[in-house]
Structure 1
Amino acid sequence: MVLNGIKAEINIPGEIPWEIVLAYFVLATVFVIYIAKVKGGLKQFSTLDIVYLAIGASLGTAWEFYIGPFIDRGIPSTPFISIGFWGRILIIIIFVSLVRKVGSGMLSLTIYTLLADLFHYGFGGQPLYFIYEALTYGLYIDLIIAISGGKIFGIGLTPSNNESEDIALRKLRRKQTILVVIEGVILGVLLSIPDPIFYLGFLRPFIYGASVNWAYIIFTLLAFIPGNVIVSIMAGLLSLRVVRALGQ
């Protein structure tokens, strides 16, 4: 039986068992919430927070399906380059950095998925894509927020009071730059996982009955990492500039 385009195939050779995927979604979410409670990144959203996240998701959707594909026309097709995805993630990270609360990533990707279905995909395969986007890409962004205690990329850190203002400010900005690089590398690697592992290894065969090729999955995973790391670092640097410009 097919429900909303979902064949629910669980016996495709090489497919990740659904029990493992379900366990991941549950345990990963609980882990991030636990870290957030310990580190202090779990806070209630304000109306302004939701507005920021909605704007970011909307701009990310526009980039993914309208601006990105136009730019892609002049670039050879290769798994090493993904203009649409890079732009979407960069925009969402910047707006999430304005909020810096655990749940920002998941909410942003949920809004993005809703808009993507309204304007491009249709709602076939739902609610699986809502779960997939929110609990992979969104959750990984929230993980960085949780680990940093709500101070992703060092945003929200204050200069030391024990030194002159100029020296303290220079040290703070140097620390923020280092955090951008470290967190950008971690985030870039994490953001490279969902499409090859969860989509090609589970969702695609589960929903459509497609075959699974682990050699291609591993190649795609490794191909995604360099570009995603660079874009995540760029997103961090741009986030710092935007936050400073807004006086946060």
Structure 2
Amino acid sequence: MQWIIYASGAVWNGVHFNLNSVIPWYVIVIYGLIYVGVLAWIWRSGKFSAFKTIDFVYIALISALIIVYNFFISPIIPKVGAVTTWFYYPMIGEIFLLLTVAALVGKPGTMAITMFIYTLLSDIFHYGFGGEPFYFIYEILAYGAILDMWLAYRGELFMSPYTKSRLGSMSAGATLEERVKAQASNATTVGYALMVLDALIGAIPMAVAYSLFYRGFFATFVSGFVYKASLVYTTTLASIGGGIVMGLISLPFVAYIKRVVKGAI
């Protein structure tokens, strides 16, 4: 079956500017403006503290690990075409790493910075800069925007079974063990439900990013390829199921890493 129904010629820096896409261009623009607006509003509100040096260390480390995974580990994972067309299971490594950096940093904008650094490193070491700046936009909007906006609500509680931050009665000099014991009483059923929601809201957009955003718009706009709408929609729906599975698998490991690295919230 022919899935690609049209390809146009290059115009500038490998960008075809073909607007004959499944997803209309204005939907992407509106989505991007909403994302930027939410980030601008939340940071102007003063709800979150500025990024610290350790935050950038986490972001840089995870960005480098995603490079290693995507270019050296994922290619050697056995793939079954009949399966990976609908459920791209090698994506689990990237989902796990991105959920981890979101959990460790816990600030809106974390995903945008991470995906920017990852894309920059990818261009330097592998792809080259053809098609830019639109691949930067694609990676940030497709893989990071939803989770960044969710972090505006969950913040440092992301991937934690709590509904409120550290107890005000805890002294600044409290030991890690004291903080863990004190905070354990804050873990609630709602908190655990939110932790599951954290994993799903983080993983599902990442799982559908390629099928929905790339095939649906950026493959057409940048590379000139127009995919049939039936392929875009069916693979996107299938990828939602894959995202649920990969998010739930990643959840306990990410939560454990956060607990070990960060201690109690």
TM-score, reference length from structure 2: 0.79
Give the Cα separation in 2 of the matches to 1:72 and 1:33.
42
Matched-pair contact (CA < 8 Å) for 1:153–1:176: no
Give the Cα separation in 1 of the matches to 2:65 and 2:261.
19
Give the 3 Å change call, closer, same or farther, for CA 119–144 of structure 1 in structure 2.
same
In the alignment, structure 1 residue 2 sits paired with structure 2 residue 11: yes
In the alignment, structure 1 residue 219 sits paired with structure 2 residue 234: yes
Matches within 5 A, 1:1-248: 2-10=11-19, 12=20, 14-35=21-42, 40=47, 42-73=48-79, 77-154=83-160, 157-158=165-166, 169=184, 172=187, 175-248=190-263
Give the Cα separation in 1 of the matches to 2:11 and 2:144.
28
Give the 3 Å change call, closer, same or farther, for CA 193–18 of structure 1 in structure 2.
same
After the TM superposition, which of the residue ranges 185-194 and 169-178 deviates more from structure 2?
A: 169-178
Q: What RMSD, in angstroms, separates the aligned Cα atoms of the two structures?
A: 2.8
Give the 3 Å change call, closer, same or farther, for CA 186–209 of structure 1 in structure 2.
same
> How many percent of aligned residue pairs carry the same amino acid?
27
Q: Which whole-Å deviations, capped at 9, do the CAs of 1:174-201 have from their partners, x for residues lacking one?
A: 5543222122223333334432222112
Report the count of equivalent residues. Answer: 242
Matched-pair contact (CA < 8 Å) for 2:85–2:235: yes
Give the 3 Å change call, closer, same or farther, for CA 9–74 of structure 1 in structure 2.
closer
After the TM superposition, which of the residue ranges 173-182 and 217-226 deviates more from structure 2?
A: 173-182
Give the 3 Å change call, closer, same or farther, for CA 134–168 of structure 1 in structure 2.
closer
TM-score, reference length from structure 1: 0.84
After the TM superposition, which of the residue ranges 152-161 and 15-24 deviates more from structure 2?
A: 152-161
Report how far residue 21 of structure 1 moved: 1.6
Q: Which whole-Å deviations, capped at 9, do the CAs of 1:142-183 have from their partners, x for residues lacking one?
A: 12211214321237744798xxx9797266175543222122
Give the number of the structure with larger relative contact order, counting CA–CA contacts within 8 Å between residues 6 or more apart: 2
Give the Cα separation in 2 of the matches to 1:185 and 1:221.
15
Give the 3 Å change call, closer, same or farther, for CA 72–8 of structure 1 in structure 2.
same
Give the Cα separation in 2 of the matches to 1:55 and 1:35.
26
After the TM superposition, which of the residue ranges 14-23 and 95-104 deviates more from structure 2?
A: 14-23
Give the 3 Å change call, closer, same or farther, for CA 152–168 of structure 1 in structure 2.
closer
SS in 2 for 1:211: strand
Which blocks of at least 5 consecutive residues in structure 2 are unaligned? 1-9, 170-179
